[in-house]
Structures are given as C-alpha cells and as structure tokens.
Amino acid sequence: MKTLLKNGSVYLDHEFKKADLLVSEDGITVYASDNAAPAECAADCSFDAAQHVIVPGFADVHVHFREPGFSYKETIRTGSLAGAYGGYTCACPMPNLNPKPSTLEGLKAQLDIIDRDAAIHVIPYGAITRKQDGRSELADMEALAPYVCAFTDDGKGVQTGDRMREAMEKARSLGKLIAAHAEDESLLGGSSIHDGRFARSINWKGITSESEWKQVERDCKLADETGCGYHVCHVSSKESLEVIRDAKKSGVDVTCETGPHYLVLSEEDLFGLDIDDPASGRFKMNPPLRSEEDKKALLEAIIDGTVDMIATDHAPHSAEEKAKGLLHSANGIVGLESAFPVLYSRLVLPGILTMDRLLELMSFAPKRRFNLPGTALETKDAQRQEDGGLLLSGSADITVLDLETPYTLNAAEFKSKGHSCPFDGWNVQGQAVMTFCAGKTAADRGLLTKLK
C-alpha cells in the first residue's frame, strides 16, 4: 500500500518545507510539491495535507501497557493504539507485569503479544532484579539484552548501592542502559499539604523530593565509576536537576526525562480540590506534582538541555481503581493521547519552547538514546529515484498534525482503556490526525480530505 500526502509542511532537515510524501513499507519518498505527477501515479491513495504539518513519529520511553498480567487496565493493543492516535510510532513498556520480564521465558510472553497485537513499534524493558523489587538478585540480563531497550525496575528504586553497581557493570558489558525509578524507600514518610482553600489537611505517604534526588546522586556517582549509560525516569524535583546538570558537566553518561504533567501543573493546582471527589484521582501519580519552584526549574532544564526528553509515564488503571479520590486512588495517569497537544498548546504557542525543541524532546532524543526505530526525515543520506523523488533512509514512521484547529480533550474517547487524565476537558491545539508506522497506517481520524 502506497499513500501520498500532498503538499504538506514537512519537517525535513529540521525545518518545515512544502513537499509531497509517498509513504510505503519501503520508506518515504519526498517529491517537490510542484513536480509530483510520478508520485500520484505510484500511489494507491492520496490525501490533501496542505493545511497540515508532517513530523517524525514520537517515541515514548516510559509507558505501562499492563500486558501480560493486568490486561483489565490496558493491553498491548489498546496501549499501542493510544500511542498511534497520540502521534507516537514507538513506545517502551515498563516491566511491572506478570510474568515479569526478568527471564527470557517471562519476556517471551510479552513479546508474543507484541508481535500479534502492537499497532506501533513496541520495544520492552527488561527488569533489573529477578523479582522487579529493587532488592533481589539480578535478572537474567544477558539473555534479555537482545530483545529489550534497556533495564529498569520501574516502580521500585534499586535500594542498595551494591546491587545498582552490580547492575550497571552488567548492563555496561551488554551495551545497555540502566533506567532508574529513583526512590529511596528509607526516606519515604508522612507528609501533608495544607492551604486555606482546602476543606481540611491532606495527609498521605510522603514521596519526598529527597527520596528522588538522593538516589539520583548515588547513581550518577556509580555511573561515573562503572561507565554505564544511566537514564533517570520522570524527574520531578529541582534538586535532581542540579545533580544531573553537575554530572553532565563532569562527563557522566547520564540522561533524564520528565513528564508533561510536571511541566504544566504543580501542587498549587490541587488547592481547592475536593479530595473526596472520585474525579480527583486523575491527579494522583508517582512522583507527585511538586511546587511551582520545581515546575519552573523543569521548564528551565528542558530549555537548557539538562532534561533530554519528555515521556508520558502513561499508567492506566481501571475506572474503579481511579475513582477513590486523591488519597486512595491508584498512582498513575494516562498521557499518550494528550501529551503533544498539551505541550504544543501550553509551551510552544506561548513561545516558551520552539517546535524544533519539542520535536527533539519527543522524537529525536529518545530514539537516539535508546536506539529506537524511526525515520529522522533527513535528506543527507537519501537515494535519488528515477522519477525525481528522494527515498529517505529509515522506516516510514511519521505523524500528520493539525496545529490550527482548536478542540477539547475528552478522555472518555481515548483509545486507551484508562481514562484518568489530568488534562481532561482542556482546550488545546495540535491533534495527530494520521500516523504511519513502518509505512502502514497505524491511526487515521478521517480528517484529511481523500483525493484518490
């Protein structure tokens, strides 16, 4: 199947250019938009993309697709479809599954489902420890390495320096990254938020900034000593950023991600919230929303390059698990279908971020760091075709965006099984209207005018 996208604004060689794209499983061929007759002849169908932009598909290195083991929350099929409809062409699911991907047998159960059901590229993580608990003996990392993007015990921090050193040394020998959910369990304790606008104080198990940055500090030192590539998941605190910034200056091989919710929300958005309202569970996540000062530090860090990429930590739960209010709902929100429109609307349109920087954070950087598939839409290695087109290298992984039409995010209409989203009801721009993965249509909202 060959699909022609006519006269779109294509993010080609890191700038937008008017062009026609012929998309197929063989790749993407670019034609000058005033000389596209050969492409029209070759296409099985064509669409008018004149009012749209075409960018490399996004990649999310931190999602929870819940299968095998917890398919009532999400499946590979529903999670990957959510990604496709959010403009993603690659996603990396975390290992908190049953069976756990700590052995090749456990991983195979997940790989078989991916092969059967995934709508986009799905490259899983392997667990660091055998029980994926941050404490037990190492997983069978050598057997897992050829099939995983990296190793993590996401949801649990590796609790001892000795175990993390052992994991880093093994990962380095295998040419793989360690991706850490940084959380020192000895520093977890009670906390409260009180404000006059609350009906009463909120008290729950405190997930303190120190529990995050202390492990980041430990692990950066270990990464320096072992030479292992180290990636910090869902950074939320200004102190963690300071540690990472200093480590980078010292030459440590460290990268980090943060989530859309930490960039556009803070704990102040909880003030006045009815914590007993079932809907308030859509603000419950780990790490929690932190201060305005932390949010400001994160925004500065994505501008200066300390934060390398944005990942959603898409973490669906059942409606029942998320309907217990702010205190008692399960930790986790969905984000694949809201990430780009929220970030485009709240950061790019006001001039806080450039579109170029947002695409680096959501596409180029995660693919580069985790060695993920997806075309970069660059012509430097393109092959010239007899009909005048340029065949680009890489797989045909692209997203067609409508940046102009305002719409309202409606979580009830998400493809994900999870509908607990803090951005539900937000007015945004930047909807993904069509997504191609490996040249095949992964998502189509039916909003492009069909020409053929």
Which residues participate in catalysis according to the annotation?
Answer: 313
Tell which residue, 343, 309, 414, 311, has the closest CA to residue 60: 311
Alpha helices (H) in 16-127, listed in sequence order: 37-42, 76-85, 104-117
Burial class (CB in 10 A: 0-12, 13-18, 19+), 272: exposed
Residue 398: CB partners within 8 Å, gap ≥ 6?
21, 23, 28, 54, 55, 56, 57, 89, 375, 377, 435, 436
Residue 373 and residue 407 in contact, taking contact as beta carbons nearer than 8 Å? no
H or E segment and range at residue 258: strand 254-258
State how far the alpha carbon of 445 is from the alpha carbons of 80, 399, 415, in Å.
15, 12, 12
Helix (H, G, I), strand (E, B) or coil at 162: helix
Residue 293: CB partners within 8 Å, gap ≥ 6?
238
Tell which residue, 282, 263, 281, 267, has the closest CA to residue 198: 267
Structure tokens at 440: 């095949």
Residue 80 and residue 118 in contact, taking contact as beta carbons nearer than 8 Å? yes
Other residues' Cβ atoms within 10 Å of the Cβ of residue 451: 13
State how far the alpha carbon of 352 is from the alpha carbons of 75, 241, 333, 388, in Å.
35, 19, 25, 39
Tell me how far apart the alpha carbons of residues 87 and 53 are, in angstroms, rounded to a whole number. Answer: 12
Q: What is the DSSP letter of 396?
A: -
Burial class (CB in 10 A: 0-12, 13-18, 19+), 204: middle
The pair phi, psi for residue 260, each rounded to 5°, is -55, -40
Tell which residue, 127, 78, 137, 76, has the closest CA to residue 104: 127
